[in-house]
Amino acid sequence: MGQQNNRNERSTLLKAKAKAKAMGVATACGLDIAVSILVGILAGAFVDGQLHSSPWGLLVGLFVGLISGFYMAYLIIAPIVRSL
């Protein structure tokens, strides 16, 4: 009976650890995407202000931020998927 409880506790602990790791990966991906988009928008707005080319700099910055954010998320997720 004692060994069964120990196994259940270990299984529960491993599941909790896996959930915490998944939450960490999801948080890192979300932050990478959000920060990349924000930096792209701010850089685009700065370029628009300097070149008076509104809204083209903002749009280019937005798309560059999106692409770089998703690429960073891919770099985080790819090794995890490969290990499965």
Please state the separation of Cα 48 from the chain's center in Å.
28
Full-model pTM: 0.81
pLDDT digits (tens, 9 = 90+) for 18-76: 899 889 999 999 999 999 999 999 999 999 999 999 999 999 999 999 999 999 999 99
Assess whether pLDDT exceeds 70 at residue 2.
no
Residue 55 main-chain phi, psi, to 5 deg: -100, 15
Q: What is the pLDDT of residue 1?
A: 56
Q: Which residue ranges make up each domain of the chain?
A: 22-83
Q: Average of pLDDT values for 6-10? A: 81
